[in-house]
Amino acid sequence: MTPANKLSEDELAVLRDNIIAELARATEHHGTTVHSFTTAFGEAGEFQNELQVYGRVGEPCLRCGHPLEKMKVAQRGTTFCPVCQVEKD
């Protein structure tokens, strides 16, 4: 996990573009229904079917196969792959 202040301008631009793309995909799928969320029209979201690490601690990473791990970031549980998501020097 690399702190944002260690990313280059190019890396920040890629991160920004990917965040925007993921938010657009989540909106298209009406959000993520993990428990009981529904839209204003009573529709359940479908984006939870696209999640690749949430709720999968100990299961293999879909990219490399290494078991996913969990840690706390700002008092929140964060699931990640220690192989694919390494800290930048």
Say yes or no: 29 and 71 in one domain.
no
Say yes or no: 17 and 59 in one domain.
no
Q: pLDDT tens, position by position, for the chain (89 residues)?
A: 788 899 999 999 999 999 999 888 888 877 776 666 777 788 777 777 777 788 889 999 999 999 999 999 888 889 999 999 887 77
Domain count, the chain: 2
Q: Are 48 and 34 in contact (CB under 8 A)?
A: yes
Residue 46: domain span: 1-50
Q: Are 23 and 46 in contact (CB under 8 A)?
A: no
Say yes or no: 61 and 82 in one domain.
yes
Say yes or no: 15 and 3 in one domain.
yes
The number of residues in the chain equals: 89
